[in-house]
Amino acid sequence: MVKSKKETGSHLGIERILVPTDFSECFRKAEECAGSIAKVFKAEIFLLHVMELAGYPLVTSWIQPPYPFDLREELVEKTRKQANKLKERGIEAEGYCISGIPSIEILKAVEEYAVDLVVMGTHGRTGLAHILLGSTAERVIQRAQCPVLTIPVLT
């Protein structure tokens, strides 16, 4: 659902907020921050969980077996529950659960949902862990066509 600024009461252009989730402590802090922003700007929140493909995505994604059905359903349900918690606080929210490469799917969602702000947690990996695992937040910051607010786990 796409609404105009006039309908939402937002004068600064924050109508839709994307909050990528991995259900970690980082996410909880980002969700809390996004919820506060959404309340002020009467914005809608889109929660997005990306079921990450294992291994090196460009090589293995075509042979990667899908998530087991029960795990997929559990993740979909967790995402729905998080959206419902926001709704209980009076915040318009929807939850989505998809498969893919997190940074790519987050960037696609920014475009698809005409997102005005991304609020995401960061794990703060450094050194070898950062080199090997990369940083989804870093990739999103570099390529997103809207502001990205990152919330470190230690805040």
How do residues 20-51 score in pLDDT, each as one tens digit?
998 888 889 999 999 999 999 999 999 999 98
99 forms beta bridges with 51
Nearest to 49 by CA among 85, 19, 71: 19
Spans in the chain with pLDDT lower than 70: 1-12, 54-69, 123-134, 154-155
pLDDT at site 69: 63
Residue 150 in 3-state DSSP? strand
- Backbone phi and psi for residue 102, each to the nearest 5 degrees, phi listed first: -50, -55
User: DSSP string of 30-78?
Assistant: HHHHHHHHHHHHT-EEEEEEEEEPSS-HHHHTTTPPPPPHHHHHHHHHH
Are 104 and 83 spatial neighbours (Cβ–Cβ below 8 Å)? no
Q: Which two tokens stand for residue 64?
A: 């990667």
The fold of the 13-152 domain, in CATH, is Rossmann fold (3.40.50)
pLDDT at site 131: 47
pLDDT at site 12: 65
pLDDT at site 5: 46
Query: Model's pTM, two decimal places?
Result: 0.79
Dist. CA 18–CA 15, nearest whole Å: 10
pLDDT at site 2: 45
